[in-house]
Chains A and B, each alone.
Chain A
Amino acid sequence: MSVRAAPTRREFIVLSCAGLLGFLGIWALASVTGLVPRQFLPPPWSVAAKFVELMREPFSGFTLQQHLLSSFMRFGMGFGLAVLIGVPLGLIMGWFRWIDAIVSPLFDALRFVAPIAWVPFAALWFGTGIGGPVLVIFTGAFPPCLINAHRGARYVDRRLIEAAQTLGARHWHIITEVLLPASVPSIVAGLRVSAGLGWQSLVGAELIVASSGIGYVLVKGQASISTSIVMSGMIAIGIVGFAIDALLRQLEAHLQRRRGRG
C-alpha cells in the first residue's frame, strides 16, 4: 500500500462534485426546512437571484459593477502607490546599508500596527471619499513590496555587482541595471502577497469609512439585515480578489518563462 492511496481520476472527479454538491445541499436544506430562518440564511438560488438583481438595479446609488469599479479604483491607487514607493525603497535599502539601518527599525515598529488600525487617522487626515481608504490600502500593501524588493536586492550574486563596479557603474546604475532585474522574481512574489493584503484592507476600510464601493454594499446590506445582499457582496469581493491574484500569477509565470529562455 502506498503512502497516499491515490483515487482514480474518475473517483477524484466524483468526490470533488460530491463535496461541492454536499456543501450547497446542506446550505439549501438548512434554509428550506427552516432550520435556520430564511432571513439569516437564504437558499443559494435566492442569493444568485439577488446577485443578478444587484447588477441590474442600483443599490444605495449604484449597481454592483459601479460599486466594484469605485472599489477597484481605490485599490489601484493604494496598490500603485505601495509598489511605486515600496519597491524602489526596498532596492535602495538593499544597496545603501546606512539607509537600511535608519529605515528598518522604523519599519519594524510600524509593521506591528495592523493596517486597519490606521482607519481613524486615514479618515481624519484624508476624509472618507478616496484618500482615507487609499491610505489604508497603502499601509496593507506596502510591507510585502518593501520586504521582497529588499530581500531580492540583498541576495543578488556578488559577482554581478563586482562586475558592474569594475565596468564603472555608479550607485544609480547598479540599482537600476543590476539589483532591479535580479530581484524581479522576488518582487513579483511580493506583489501577489501585497495585492491580496491590499484588497483585504480595502474591504476593511470600506466597511468602516467609505460611502460607496463594495464594502459599503456589505454594510448597507447588514444594516437592512438582508443576508442575500451581504452574501452577493462577499461573492463579488471573492471574484475580484481571485481575478487580481490570477492576473499576477500569470505575470509571474510569464516572467519565469522569459527568464528561462534567457
Chain B
Amino acid sequence: MPKRSEPSRLAVGAATLVGVVALWYVLTQATHIIPSVYFATPAEVLQAAKQITIQGYADGRLHEHFLHSCWLVLMGFAVAVTTGVPLGMLMGWSRRAEALINPVFLLLRPIPPLAWIPLAIVWLGLGDAAKILVIWFAAFVPAVINSYAGVRSIEPYLIEAARSLGARRAMLVREVLIPGALPLIFTGLRLSLQACWTTLVAAELLGAIVGLGHALYQAGLDIFPAMIVVGMIGVAIAGALMTMALAWLETRAMPWHTR
C-alpha cells in the first residue's frame, strides 16, 4: 500500500470538514431531521456568536470570557510550573528528598484534580482564587512526575564530567540538570496544560462569574444549543492556541532538540 502524499491527505481532510458542515446544514436547517431544540443550525450558531461578541452573554462579551479563562489557566499553570518542576527535580536529584516526599505524593495522586473543586469552593468560594487552586492541583502532578523522570534520565557520566571539571552546585543545576531534564519537563507541561483546561472548564461550569465555562453553563440552563456550540468552539480554540504557544516555547527553549 503506497503512502499517500501529504497534499492529498490535506485535500481529503478539508473535503471531510466541508462535507461535515454540509451534512450539518442538511440535517438541521434544510430537512429538520435533528430538531433545533437538540442541535443548532449553522445560521443560529453564527447568530449566537454575533450576539456573544457584540452584546454579550452570561454577564460578559466573548473576549471577556475568553481572556478571563486564559488568564486563570496561565496563572494556575505558572504556579504549578514554579512549584512542581523544582520539586520534581529535587526528588529526581536526592534520594532522601524522594523518600520524604514520595509517599505523600502517592497518597494524593489518585485523587483526580476535578475532585478538588468542591473542596476549593468550600475553602475559597466561587472566585478566581479557588479556580487557580484547582488548576494548580491539576498541573502540579504531571509537572512533578516528568521533572523527576527528566532528572533521572540524565546520564550519570554527564554529571560526573561536569563535577570533575569543577562545576559548583548552581552551575551544575543550570548547565546540566535543567537542559538535560527539559525534554521530559516539556512533555509534562503539555499534559499539565491539557489537565488545566479540563479542570478550569469543570470549575467554571460549577460556578463562576465570567469565563467560557460559565457561558457554557448559562447556555445549558437556557437550553440554547447554538450558544453551547459557540462555547465549545471557544474552549477548543483557547486550548489549541495555548498548546501552540507552548510548542513554540519548547522550540525556543531547546533549539538543540529537533524532533
Contact = CB atoms under 8 A, between A and B. Distances in A.
Contacts of B225: 121, 124
Interface in A168-218: 196, 199-200, 203-204, 207-208, 215, 218
Given A120-B217, A124-B220, A3 B99 contact: no
A75 to B, nearest CB: 12
Nearest to B14: A105
A19 B104 contact: yes
Contacts of A101: 4, 9, 12-13, 16
Contacts of A35: none
A102 B103 contact: no
Given A115-B198, A117-B201, A207-B114, A15 B99 contact: yes
Interface residues of A, number: 63
B219 interface: yes
Given A113-B236, A120-B216, A222-B122, A204 B100 contact: no
Contact of A200 (B95, B113, B197, B232): B113
B245 interface: no
A121 B228 CA distance: 7
A114 interface: yes
B107 A230 contact: no
Interface stretch (A54-62, A77-85, A234-242): A234-242
A40 interface: yes
Contacts of A22: 100
B25 interface: no
Contact of B95 (A6, A221, A245): A6
B159 A19 contact: no
A18 B112 contact: no
B144 interface: no
A167 interface: no
Interface string A96-117: 0110011011100100111111
A224 to B, nearest CB: 10
The secondary-structure label for the interface of chain B is helix
A159 interface: no
B17 interface: yes
A89 interface: no
Q: Which of A7, A116, A233, A235 has the most CB of B within 10 A?
A: A116
Contact of A230 (B12, B104, B119, B239): B119
B160 A204 contact: no
A109 B117 CA distance: 28
A113 B220 CA distance: 16
B202 A3 contact: no
29 contacts: A3-B156, A3-B159, A4-B93, A5-B94, A5-B96, A15-B99, A20-B103, A22-B100, A40-B122, A40-B123, A97-B1, A97-B4, A101-B9, A101-B16, A102-B16, A105-B12, A106-B20, A113-B239, A117-B201, A117-B236, A118-B232, A120-B217, A120-B231, A124-B228, A207-B114, A207-B206, A234-B115, A234-B116, A238-B108
8 closest Cβ pairs, A-B complex: A120-B220, A105-B13, A222-B118, A15-B99, A200-B112, A112-B236, A101-B12, A238-B110
Interface of A: 2-7, 11-12, 15-20, 22-23, 40, 97-98, 101-102, 104-106, 109, 112-121, 123-125, 196, 199-200, 203-204, 207-208, 215, 218-219, 221-222, 225, 227, 230-231, 233-235, 237-239, 241-242, 245
